[in-house]
Structure 1
Amino acid sequence: MNLTDKVIVITGGGQGLGRAMAVSLANSGAKLALVDLNEQLLEETVQLVQDAGAMAKYYIANVTNEQEVESTFNHIKNDFKVIDGLINNAGILRDGMLIKAKDGQVVKKMSLEQFQSVIDVNLSGVFLCGREAASHMVESGTKGVIINMSSIARGGNIGQTNYAASKAGVVAMTTTWARELGRFGIRVGAIAPGVIRTAMTDAMKPEMRDRLEKMKAVGRLGEADEIAHTVKYIFENEFFTGRVVEIDGGLSM
């Protein structure tokens, strides 16, 4: 896919990886439809995209709400006339152990709300947005691309029952959608980042950050721009579909 003038929807587009992706795609000539819950952050990202010489609009929506997702994608289609790509980037963390025990007694459990809230955003939200994007692509005859953000935690990680389950599900949906949607000319891929440098990692205690860096073969954390580069690769390589790209600095070797 040549990204010039292509309309790309990014959920969680107000900050972090979503913002880095938006600016990167803008530099390649794409038009951006940014979805998030924080209007101020969305406005800031739109300005950065416009500074890069590209067009952008923002939409405030909760990706876990079916009616809001349907309405938002209809608005995007009305505003841009077409949807060429979707990056399912919105996600949350609610880390905690399945159970905590002391002296043979369980003192704390992961609550259903703690589990379900992550599944709702990271898995159900991906499902809803992917379904709506695919529907618009098929109806307009667009050979589009859907990219789902997974994580290397999808293989299981202590303290992340909810997050790991959601990110494993994202990969399963990616493979399924690639097989189902290929006949319409729609490609679907996933990216599984390792630990990426963000405001959250910058706020970590130095010893914790040093330990994370030493765990990686490259000896450092990843950068948001490196994930954005992978996004462009998936969009531009028309032989890529149904696979997940691990960008983790060798952490999972």
Structure 2
Amino acid sequence: MNLQDKVIAITGAGQGLGRSMAVYMAQKGARIAVIDLSQEHMDETKAQIEAAGSSASTFLCNVANEQQVEETFSAIVSQMGGLHGLVNNAGILRDGLMVKAKDGEISKMSLANWQAVIDVNLTGVFLCGREAAVKMIESGEGGCIINISSISRAGNMGQSNYSAAKAGVASMATVWAKELARYNIRANAIAPGFIATEMTAGMKPEALDKMTAGIPAKRMGQPEEIAHTVAYLMENDYVSGRVVEVDGGLRL
């Protein structure tokens, strides 16, 4: 896929990795549908896209809400003239041990914290992927869907909810690649390692040093390196059903 003038939707594009992806692909000529829950953040992303020489439209949407997702993807097509790519990037964290015993007391991960992560990180990816596929089939032009997984899909302590969701979105990408190939729609996933974002910037220096020391590359990844991988998967029409790990050699 040549990204020039293609419409690429990105969830969670108001900041962090999503914003980096949006700006990177805008520099290649893509027009970006910015999807997020914060209008302020989306406006900031839109300004950076325009500074990069392309255009964007913003769409307020809770990806875990079926009606909102359906309305959002219909609006993208009507306002932007089509849909050629989707990056399922939106996600949340509610980390905690499944059970923890201390001083005779046992605490548990709440069902609310389990469900919140599953709703956004797994169900939200399903809903957005489904609606994007519908629009791509209706247009007859095909397209590409990329799910943002994580190396935590292999199972990371304190992340029962997150790991389960990220394993699920990686599997869905493989399933969709098989199901949607007949419509000229490809699907892939990216599993980032530790990436330097606003979230990691708030960590204590000693914790960051310890984390970085365990990475064979001895540094965290940069958001632009994930964005570069997104663009590669969008552009290479013979890559489908793959999960690309971008983690500096780290394996959990």
What TM-score, normalized by structure 1, do the two folds share? 0.98
2:140 corresponds to: 141
Question: For 1:220, what is the secondary structure of its paired residue?
Answer: coil
1:32 corresponds to: 32
The offset of 1:80, in angstroms, is 1.2
Rounded to whole Å, the distance in 2 between the matches of 1:149 and 1:28 is: 20
Rounded to whole Å, the distance in 1 between the matches of 2:105 and 2:121 is: 28
Rounded to whole Å, the distance in 2 between the matches of 1:102 and 1:219 is: 34
The offset of 1:106, in angstroms, is 4.7
Q: Deviations over 1:126-165 (max 9, x none)?
A: 0000000000000110220000000000010100000000
Rounded to whole Å, the distance in 2 between the matches of 1:203 and 1:98 is: 24
The offset of 1:102, in angstroms, is 2.6
Rounded to whole Å, the distance in 2 between the matches of 1:164 and 1:223 is: 22
2:69 corresponds to: 69
Q: CA RMSD in A?
A: 0.9
Question: For 2:10, what is the secondary structure of its paired residue?
Answer: strand
What TM-score, normalized by structure 2, do the two folds share? 0.98
The offset of 1:213, in angstroms, is 0.9
Does residue 1:185 correspond to 2:184, yes or no? yes
Rounded to whole Å, the distance in 1 between the matches of 2:191 and 2:51 is: 29
Write the mapping of 1:1-253 to structure 2, written as runs, cut at 5 A. 1-102=1-102, 105-252=104-251
Question: For 2:147, what is the secondary structure of its paired residue?
Answer: strand
Q: Deviations over 1:14-73 (max 9, x none)?
A: 000000000000000000001000000000000000011101000001000000000000
Q: Deviations over 1:171-223 (max 9, x none)?
A: 11111000000011000000000010012212211111111111111100010
Structure 1: 5+ residue stretches without partners: none
Rounded to whole Å, the distance in 1 between the matches of 2:110 and 2:200 is: 26
| 1:99–1:106 Cα contact (<8 Å) kept | no
Moved over 3 A (4+): none
Which residue type is aligned with residue 205 of structure 2?
P
Rounded to whole Å, the distance in 2 between the matches of 1:121 and 1:190 is: 17
| 1:194–1:248 Cα contact (<8 Å) kept | yes
Which residue type is aligned with residue 39 of structure 1?
Q
| 1:9–1:34 Cα contact (<8 Å) kept | yes
Rounded to whole Å, the distance in 1 between the matches of 2:55 and 2:102 is: 56
Q: Percent identity?
A: 56
The offset of 1:3, in angstroms, is 0.3
**Is 206-215 or 125-134 further displaced after alignment?**
206-215
Question: For 1:219, what is the secondary structure of its paired residue?
Answer: coil
Which residue type is aligned with residue 164 of structure 2?
A
Question: For 2:64, what is the secondary structure of its paired residue?
Answer: coil
| 1:191–1:246 Cα contact (<8 Å) kept | yes
- Matched residue pairs, number? 252
